[in-house]
Structure 1
Amino acid sequence: MIRSVPRRTVLALLAGLPAAALLAACSDSGSGGAEAQAPQAPAPEAPATPAPATPPAAAAPAPSGKVDMAKLLEEGALPEKTIGNADAPVTIVEYASMTCGHCANFHNETLPVIKERYIDTGKARMVFREFPFDPRAEAGFMLARCADDKYFAMIDVLFKQQRNWAGVDNAREALLQIARLAGFSQEAFEACLTDQKLLEDVRAVRTRGATDFGIDATPTFFINGNKYSGALKVDEMSAIIESLL
């Protein structure tokens, strides 16, 4: 069952709920997909190195299911957020939660390599969709949506700083400081997180993912319709994409 939070409580809950209760699991049930896990600290930054011209050989993991791509790509409650060429032969649809440690690891460690190898070269595009498990994840997504054309920049910052806001006692203050660095005033921050229509739309994206596509864990990927649950590593996602080119 999709958990929900009563009307207009997301902003208040950011400060009020115990942090231990909000170290969001990466699955609803603990079965299938990514294992429940507290947010993890991003790995220390290392000097950038060029991605190999040819990805290392690896066997593509077997998908756990398949969905109809036409249905998957139908318009939902919110405008799609995508990176890459719309005509790319491979489409990756990711459902993620902002407080999921596995999602942060994927975005901080794997996605930059996949972007350089496949998205920036026109071979793949990514569609990113919201699947929040708790009020803090909802708040993170709402702030990203309120950032308009800085949506992905906000998502990147929130994943990189996940340990600084997802598991602290007062997430409201922590998120406000991050939002201020992104150009939000306190008034804009509060207006965003009390926007009931936006909250309902974020929840609608999650509800559709769960009811129409059977998502119960994050991250979940659909790559040309094939379903994969869990944070794919670089060689795994590379093997999947290469098999579709």
Structure 2
Amino acid sequence: MTAKIIASHWKLALAAPLALALSACDTNEAGGAAAIEGEPVAAVAAPEGTEWRDQVTVTDYDGYLMGNPDAPVKVVEYASLTCPACAAFAANGAEPLKNDYVNTGKVSFELRNQIHGPHDLILARLARCGSPESFHPLADQIWANLQSLLEPVFSNSEAMNQTLQLPEDERFVAFADQAGFYDFFAARGISEADARQCLSDFSAMETIANNSDSQSSEFDVTGTPTFFVNGQKVDTNSWSGLEPILQKAGAR
């Protein structure tokens, strides 16, 4: 099942049965580097006393951009927080990308969510519940603990689906309670009270899902992770494939 089918209509993410989102990401390594060429670019120092990896801004696409906003090499990742291939990229590539490229000021890294079901939507909203600077660390923590985090969701899918029949301001609050998400996020700086408030805001949930739908269509994002370098979709979903493209683009 392709991500395009799953993310096609925001209503699926807001009220669809969990079965629709069991298989939602592209785990095939495409390989090959895109035809992106660039002269070597100079490093840019972060503001005094800071590191670029700690600088995060929210973009017009509701993405979370880490690093120098004027970096000459710009990386955008469309990712699902429930996608094993995205988790594999985070495990293998997050630290070298941030330390060796973003921190030089040569590369910026923007993460945008593609939503693959109600549990994915809830996690995307909870990752936004803190400051912008907490978004990337929370996403990495979700991916690092993906199997244990989602086990209660799929082992109790009937009860989970029942929560999605509740009124709009209650359904995601109840879903997260059944899934045990509150303890996970409380241990990482998002209090249960704040998490419940975030999930009761149906309009904010709808916005995330709508953005996923419209951007997947606009940029032809049919699987996750999907990467763009300087606006061009690249033919890889792994760090071993992406790093040479960054270097070819000038981050060397």
TM-score, normalised with respect to structure 1: 0.71
Partner residue of 1:243? Answer: 248
**Matching of residue 75 in structure 1 with residue 80 in structure 2:** no
Which residue identity is paired with 1:26?
C
Of 104, 116, 135 in structure 1, the residue corresponding to residue 118 of structure 2 is 135
Q: In structure 2, what is the Cα distance between the partners aligned to 1:177 and 1:155?
A: 16
Deviation at residue 110 of structure 1 after TM alignment: 1.2
Contact kept in structure 1, 2:183 and 2:192, CA below 8 Å: no
TM-score, normalised with respect to structure 2: 0.69
Bigger proportion of residues as helix: 2
Partner residue of 1:216? Answer: 222
Contact kept in structure 2, 1:8 and 1:194, CA below 8 Å: no
Of 136, 146, 149 in structure 2, the residue corresponding to residue 165 of structure 1 is 149
Question: Residues 184 and 213 of structure 1: is their aligned pair in 2 closer, same or farther, counting only changes over 3 Å?
Answer: same
Deviation at residue 7 of structure 1 after TM alignment: 9.4
Unaligned runs of 5+ in 2: 36-57, 157-174
Question: Residues 121 and 176 of structure 1: is their aligned pair in 2 closer, same or farther, counting only changes over 3 Å?
Answer: same
Question: Residues 230 and 185 of structure 1: is their aligned pair in 2 closer, same or farther, counting only changes over 3 Å?
Answer: same
What secondary structure is seen at the aligned counterpart in 2 of 1:222?
strand
Q: For 1:18-37, list aligned pairs within 5 A.
A: 22-27=21-26, 34-35=27-28
Q: For 1:35-114, list aligned pairs within 5 A.
A: 35=28, 61-62=33-34, 75-76=60-61, 78=62, 80-114=63-97
Deviation at residue 6 of structure 1 after TM alignment: 6.8
Q: In structure 1, what is the Cα distance between the partners aligned to 2:197 and 2:11?
A: 18
What does the per-residue CA deviation read over 1:42-67, in whole Å, with 9 as the maximum and x for residues that have no partner? Answer: xxxxxxxxxxxxxxxxx95236xxxx
Percent identical among aligned pairs is 25
Q: In structure 2, what is the Cα distance between the partners aligned to 1:74 and 1:146?
A: 16
Question: Residues 60 and 122 of structure 1: is their aligned pair in 2 closer, same or farther, counting only changes over 3 Å?
Answer: farther
Q: In structure 2, what is the Cα distance between the partners aligned to 1:216 and 1:6?
A: 16
Q: In structure 1, what is the Cα distance between the partners aligned to 2:151 and 2:237?
A: 20
Matched length: 199
Unaligned runs of 5+ in 1: 28-33, 36-58, 64-72
**Matching of residue 120 in structure 1 with residue 103 in structure 2:** yes
Deviation at residue 183 of structure 1 after TM alignment: 3.1
Q: In structure 2, what is the Cα distance between the partners aligned to 1:25 and 1:166?
A: 14
Of 138, 146, 150 in structure 2, the residue corresponding to residue 154 of structure 1 is 138
What does the per-residue CA deviation read over 1:49-86, in whole Å, with 9 as the maximum and x for residues that have no partner? Answer: xxxxxxxxxx95236xxxxxxxxx9823x3x3111111
Of 183, 194, 208 in structure 2, the residue corresponding to residue 177 of structure 1 is 183
What secondary structure is seen at the aligned counterpart in 2 of 1:85?
coil
Partner residue of 1:203? Answer: 209
Question: Residues 102 and 155 of structure 1: is their aligned pair in 2 closer, same or farther, counting only changes over 3 Å?
Answer: same
Which residue identity is paired with 2:64?
K
Contact kept in structure 2, 1:217 and 1:229, CA below 8 Å: no
